Amino acid sequence: MSQFAYHNGVLHAEGVPLSAIAEQFGTPTYIYSKAALLGNFAAYADACRGRDALVCYAMKANSNLAILDLLARQGAGFDIVSGGELLRVIAAGGDPRKVIFSGVGKTVDEMRLALEHDILCFNVESIPELHRLNDVAGSMGKRARISLRVNPNVDPKTHPYIATGLKANKFGVAFDDALATYRTAAQLPHLEVTGIDCHIGSQLLDDAPLLEALDRLIELIDTLGKEGIVLHHLDIGGGIGINYGEAGEASPVAVADYLGRVFAKVDAWRAARHHGAPIKVIFEPGRSIVGNTGVLLTRVEFLKHGEEKNFCVVDAAMNDMMRPALYEAWMDMQPVAPGQAPAQTYDVVGPICESGDWLARDRKLAVQPGDLLAMMQAGAYGLTMASNYNTRGRAAEVIVDGDVCHLVRRRETPAELYALESVIK
Ligand SMILES: Cc1ncc(COP(=O)(O)O)c(C=O)c1O
Ligand SMILES: N[C@@H](CCCC[NH3+])C(=O)O
DSSP class per residue in 206-239: -SHHHHHHHHHHHHHHHHHHHTT----EEE----
Ligand lying nearest the CA atom of residue 329: 2
Annotation-wise, does 285 bind a ligand? yes
Q: What confidence category does residue 274 fall into, taking pLDDT thresholds of 50, 70 and 90? A: low
Both 305 and 279 in a single domain?
A: no
Of 127-131, 184-188, 274-278, 384-388, minimum mean pLDDT range:
274-278
Give the residue numbers annotated as catalytic, written as ranges. 353
Using DSSP's 3-state secondary structure scheme, residue 53 falls into strand
For residue 406, tell me if it sits in a domain. yes
Q: How many domains does the chain have?
A: 2
pLDDT tens digit sequence for 83-113: 999 999 999 999 999 999 999 999 999 999 9
Report the Cα 263 to chain-centroid distance in Å: 23
Together in a domain, 212 and 298: no
Is 76 within 8 Å of 49 (Cβ atoms)? no
- Check whether residue 264 and residue 383 sit in a common domain: no
Question: In whole angstroms, what is the distance from residue 1 CA to residue 258 CA?
Answer: 18
Here the CATH number for the domain that contains residue 161 is: 3.20.20.10
Q: What is the structure's pLDDT at 208?
A: 96
Residue at a domain's end among 283, 303, 326:
283
Q: Which of 242, 262, 283 is the last residue of a domain?
A: 283
**pLDDT, average across residues 290-313:** 96
Q: What is the mean pLDDT of residues 68-83?
A: 98
6 is in an annotated binding site: no
Nearest atom in ligand 2 to the alpha carbon of residue 203 is 10
Q: For the chain, what percent of residues have pLDDT higher than 70?
A: 96
Indicate whether 64 belongs to any domain.
no
Please give the mean pLDDT across all residues of the chain.
95
Same-domain pairing of 257 and 126: yes
Q: Binning pLDDT at 50, 70 and 90, where does residue 171 land?
A: confident
Q: How far apart are the first and last CA of the chain?
A: 58
Ligand in nearest proximity to the CA of 202:
1
Please indicate, yes or no, whether residues 107 and 242 belong to a single structural domain of this protein: yes
Which pLDDT does position 1 carry in this prediction?
60
Identify whether residues 314 and 405 lie together within a single domain.
yes
**What is the span of the domain harbouring residue 110?**
103-283
Residues 174-191 have a mean pLDDT of 96
Q: What one-character DSSP code corresponds to residue 366?
A: -
Total Cβ atoms within 10 A of residue 280: 17
pLDDT, mean of residues 4-24: 98
Q: Which atom of ligand 2 is nearest to the CA of 201?
A: 7
Residue 43 lies in a domain: no
- Residues 221-259 have pLDDT tens digits of 999 999 999 999 999 999 999 999 999 999 999 999 999
Same domain assignment for residues 216 and 265: yes
- Are residues 251 and 150 part of one domain? yes
Q: Which of 365, 303, 312 is nearest to 339 (CA)?
A: 365
- Residue 212 pLDDT more than 90? yes
Looking at residue 91, its amino acid is A
- 162 CA to centre of ligand 2 in angstroms: 6
- Mark whether 177 and 279 lie in a shared domain: yes
Confidence at residue 275, expressed as pLDDT on a 0 to 100 scale: 58
Q: How far is the CA of 228 from the centre of ligand 2 (A)?
A: 37
> Does residue 166 surpass a pLDDT of 90?
no
Q: Among 283, 318, 338, give the residue marking a domain's end.
A: 283
pLDDT at 273 over 80: no
The residue-averaged pLDDT of 345-360 equals 97
Please tell me whether 23 is known to bind a ligand: no
Ligand 2 atom 9: residue of nearest CA:
381
The answer on pLDDT for 183 being more than 80 is yes
* Same domain as 349, residue 320: yes
Contact 323 CB / ligand 2 (< 6 Å): yes
Whole-model pTM: value is 0.97
Q: If you average pLDDT over residues 28-38, what whole number do you get?
A: 98
Q: In the prediction, which pLDDT does 326 show?
A: 96
In a domain, 390, yes or no: yes
Is the pLDDT reported for residue 324 higher than 90?
yes
pLDDT at 39 exceeding the cut of 70: yes
At 18, which CATH number?
2.40.37.10
pLDDT on residue 163: 67
Decide if pLDDT at 341 tops 90.
Answer: no
Angle, CA 57 vertex, CA 203 and CA 186 arms, to 5°: 100
Nearest CA to ligand 1 atom 13: 202
At residue 311, φ and ψ (nearest 5 deg) are -115, 135
Half-sphere exposure of 286 (CA within 13 A, CB side): 24
Q: How far is the CA of 22 from the centre of ligand 1 (A)?
A: 31
Based on the domain organization, do 179 and 311 belong to the same domain?
no
234 and 322 part of one domain: no
Q: Residue 412, annotated ligand binder? A: no
